[in-house]
Amino acid sequence: MSQQGERVKVAVLDDYQGVALTLADWSALHGRAEVTVFRDHLADQEAVVARLRPFDVLCVMRERTPLPRAVVERLDRLRLIVSTGPRNASIDVAAADARGIVVRHTGSAEAGAMELTWALILAAIRHIPAEAAAMRDGGWQHTIGGDLKGRTLGVIGLGKIGAAMARVAIAFEMQVLAWSPNLTPERAEAAGARYATKEALLAGSDIVTLHLVLSDRSRGVIGAGDLARMKPGAWIVNTSRGPLIDEAALIEALRSRRIAGAALDVYDVEPLPAGHALRTLPNVVLAPHIGFVTENAYRVFYRDTVGAVVAWLDGRDG
């Protein structure tokens, strides 16, 4: 805990939009804790350690600031980590446990990622970013959009989000193929999809969308050979985690027009560096990892964050 006589020091990290203190009631901490909000992101590990050393509690936003062992072991005052969302693979929980640091998670609102995925798909096939930019420059109708009706959506990962993607695709009168390492034909059929091998899904889909949890097994699940199997006119969409796709192979496929394009919300390195190749390619629709960034989700995140800190202060947790 903090030094005797001192209030507990709480750091809220990576509040990009500056809304942490307005989307939840933090009054339960008044007089008990000193809350500091950081809106900027630090990528350098030494800078992260220097910033966070004075704090007893860290409130982290998803995986924006990783807390590996090399960081956790140098934060001598740290006693509680509260992460938004139900899981956070970027926290070394074993290192925290070894130091007696409590790690807690918040609830979430699950619709945002699925809704953003469809927003990216529609923006991509209807060329909305290009048309919007042209209109701002005085132009009018430069492209011809694609259709969803009658096309095939390939869903890689048929969990909650993937199954929701399938339901919307059916409403658009699309065909749905699905694959994941443990998916069965029966589970696919129950979600309104048809089971396919990964190879058949890639070859037969007009849009391929990824909805897998990142793990050692799923990392690089889409590589150069997989991209080569896709239709030349197909799009690949990733709103899950950047490393699911071999980034170098994807950039080459986009540059060579081996596929029509990509719609992305996630990247190997985040924030995406300013000079990154993906920012320069005309056949890419980009979003800055905002699938989970909705008002409802943030209200749940910060409400539960406050609750977790209060429970810890009251001795009801940890």
DSSP codes of every residue in 98-147: HTT-EEEE-----HHHHHHHHHHHHHHHTTHHHHHHHHHTT---------
With vertex at residue 159, the alpha carbon angle to CA 299 and CA 121, rounded to the nearest 5 degrees, is: 75
Q: Are 85 and 108 in contact (CB under 8 A)?
A: yes
User: Is residue 30 annotated as part of the catalytic site, yes or no?
Assistant: no
User: Is residue 110 annotated as part of the catalytic site, yes or no?
Assistant: no
What tokens were used for 274?
């300013």
DSSP code for 294: -
* Rounded distance between C-alpha atoms, residue 211 and residue 153, angstroms: 13
Active-site hit among 77, 131, 270, 299: 270
Cβ-proximal residues to 289 (8 Å cutoff; 6+ apart), any chain? 265, 266, 267, 270
What tokens were used for 218?
């799923």
Amino acid at 148: L
CA distance readout (Å), 232 to 3, 150, 203, 208, 282: 63, 18, 10, 12, 16
CA distance readout (Å), 65 to 79, 186, 294: 17, 39, 19
Q: Which residues are catalytic?
A: 241, 270, 289
